[in-house]
Structure 1
Amino acid sequence: MTRPDQPASTAAVSDDALFGPEATDYARYRPGLPDAAVHLLASTQHGVPAPVLLDLGTGTGQVPRALLPVLLRLVHIDLVDVNASMLQAASAVLEPVRGACTVDVFTGAADTFAPAVPGRAPTLITCCRSFHWMARPGVLSMADRIAAPHAVVAIMGDGSLWTHEADWTAALRELIQSYLGEDRRAGTRGTYAGPGRSYEDDLADSRFSVVTEHHFPVTRTWTPEDVIGYLRTTSFARPALFADRNRDFEAAALRLLQDHADGGVLTEDAVFTVLLARRPGGAA
């Protein structure tokens, strides 16, 4: 998790270019946060009388949706994403459960975010499976400008089915490569060029340089159909990359996954990592 899976871009990805049509699949097929990680995030707000959450790259709102039932004192949430369709989905998910907590949305690159209401400083800034897309030093500078003195930045992730090592994921990668070429696709036009600077290095060079690392092993089970749905939400196997061959690809992938499934189930053993970062002198 601590090295980006995909290259960051300083430009916002347009709503139509990436993940817009897949927002429904994203909400349905992307794995949520482990309960232990949610409780860890909530614990960072002990003693904070009126917590404010800033969720960067919120997607369909998985992080705030998981936190609301646990962090009952949450008074405000800012949702940030470059994708308007994702933000609409996140707002819809949060509306029935937010209670008195207010929610604002910001469509744009994370490093350009500014609170809609001056003085409403975030006390917890989260970024789940999305920091690799961002102008990371700029994001951390933005966080330092707007965050409360004892704010916590949480950068989280667990890789993807592309990076997971198992017989079935290896075979799936080979199938994808047979359609799209050896290089892993990333973003709207680019390819993945290899690991870059680590998240720990980014944090060490920022004001949020006091970092603790937490690991949560997770075992997930997938049906072959769920994996196909998940692939539609990824930058390396989304339907637009296959163009008129997507139906053929999905049919071949489904057959492959069914052949590898044990009793109709595919198993993924992952590790969900959380980096909690604070400014020097911030609460431990």
Structure 2
Amino acid sequence: MTRPDRSCPGHVPEQEALFGSGAADYDRYRPGVPTAAVQLLADALRSRPNPVLLDLGTGTGQVPDALLAAELGLAHIEAVDVSRLMLDQARDALTPVLGHCTLRLVHAAADAYTPLAGDEARAPDLVTCCRSFHWMDRPAVLAMADRVAAPDAAVAIMGDGSLWTHDADWTRALRELIQRYLGSERRAGTGATYCEPRRSYEEDLAASAWSDVTEHHFPVERAWAPKDVIGYLRSTSFASPELFGERHTAFEAEARTLLDAHASGGHLTEHAVFTVLLARRGGGAQ
């Protein structure tokens, strides 16, 4: 069952514009959560009856989708995102596979999330944030999670970088092409450049209630078809069509030629490491 959407204060219009336009391409082309990482999250919930998931920056619902497939008996999912278009994609993906699990889509910045009040409220047993923590007010998000999560809950901060940060011959050539069109600085939508976080996620967690952290690394090898890389780029903040304006068609044609030249057997290989920081409250129950 899907409950009505709810908007909370605090969502940022600039971020909504940044992430909304590429929702369909994000759903189609972004890699999912590796099986080994899903297993880790599932193990954190396996002993809990009727667990509740809070997924922050849910995007198109990749984390809830993966955990529903793990057959944990999830009772409820709270899926939070700043983009209504992303939430629409998440609804389309998750509704057919919910079974008896209920779903609430919340249009909000992660730090502004508030749970349901009254008898319907159930504290989340797991709070997840996949490939989105760097966009958030991280200390505020972790403080919010401490307020709303169950006493023995876990927080999972996950990600594996992007094709901008991946270091391979073909990604370097692609990055240089993007920079030739858009300038040397990495873009973050039409009105900004990307700034790296000032401190690491580990430091963020150490300074929060979630200071008991285990770090897990899962090597992943992906084979990209050139056309899928083009689709992936449309979903990003650093190479979305809006950034190129009338030059986007020319960019995509040049990018496709470049990728075809680097492809071996029709594919481009990415060797990534998907990292999960699984955190619990310091001194809390495991």
Unaligned regions of 5+ residues in structure 2, if any? 1-9
Report what 1:4 is aligned to: none
Q: Please tell me the residue identity of whatever aligns with 2:96.
A: P
Report what 2:6 is aligned to: none
Report what 2:50 is aligned to: 50
Supply the distance in 2 between the matched residues of 1:204 and 1:117 (Cα, whole angstroms).
30
1:52-201 alignment, distance < 5 Å: 52-118=52-118, 119-201=121-203
Report what 1:280 is aligned to: 282
Report what 1:266 is aligned to: 268
1:165 Cα deviation (Å)?
A: 0.4
Q: Please tell me the residue identity of whatever aligns with 2:67.
A: L
Supply the distance in 1 between the matched residues of 2:195 and 2:21 (Cα, whole angstroms).
26
* Aligned sequence identity (%): 64
Supply the distance in 2 between the matched residues of 1:154 and 1:245 (Cα, whole angstroms).
39
Equivalent pair of 1:151/1:282 in contact (CA under 8 Å): no
Supply the distance in 1 between the matched residues of 2:66 and 2:93 (Cα, whole angstroms).
11
1:205 Cα deviation (Å)?
A: 0.7
Unaligned regions of 5+ residues in structure 1, if any? 1-9
Supply the distance in 1 between the matched residues of 2:207 and 2:104 (Cα, whole angstroms).
30
Supply the distance in 2 between the matched residues of 1:188 and 1:55 (Cα, whole angstroms).
27
Deviations 1:157-188 (A, max 9, x none): 00000000000000000000000001111244
1:16 Cα deviation (Å)?
A: 5.7
Deviations 1:88-134 (A, max 9, x none): 11011111110010000110100010112443100100000000010
1:277 Cα deviation (Å)?
A: 0.5
Instruction: Give RMSD over aligned pairs.
Output: 1.4
Structure 1 11/64 Cα, relative in aligned 2: closer, same or farther at 3 Å? closer
SS at match of 1:132: helix
Q: How many residues align?
A: 275
Structure-2-length-normalised TM-score: 0.93
Deviations 1:238-263 (A, max 9, x none): 11000110000000000000000001
Supply the distance in 1 between the matched residues of 2:62 and 2:197 (Cα, whole angstroms).
26
SS at match of 2:88: helix
Higher mean alpha-carbon deviation, 128-137 vs 273-282, is at 273-282
Q: Please tell me the residue identity of whatever aligns with 1:156.
A: M
Structure 1 16/63 Cα, relative in aligned 2: closer, same or farther at 3 Å? closer
Q: 1:222 aligns with which of 215, 221, 224?
A: 224
Q: Please tell me the residue identity of whatever aligns with 2:52.
A: V
Q: Please tell me the residue identity of whatever aligns with 1:172.
A: L
Supply the distance in 1 between the matched residues of 2:108 and 2:27 (Cα, whole angstroms).
20
Bigger fraction of residues in helix: 2
Report what 1:246 is aligned to: 248
1:225 Cα deviation (Å)?
A: 0.3
Supply the distance in 2 between the matched residues of 1:153 and 1:15 (Cα, whole angstroms).
23
1:267 Cα deviation (Å)?
A: 0.2
Equivalent pair of 1:15/1:85 in contact (CA under 8 Å): no
Report what 1:5 is aligned to: none
Report what 1:21 is aligned to: 21
Supply the distance in 2 between the matched residues of 1:162 and 1:222 (Cα, whole angstroms).
14
SS at match of 2:204: helix
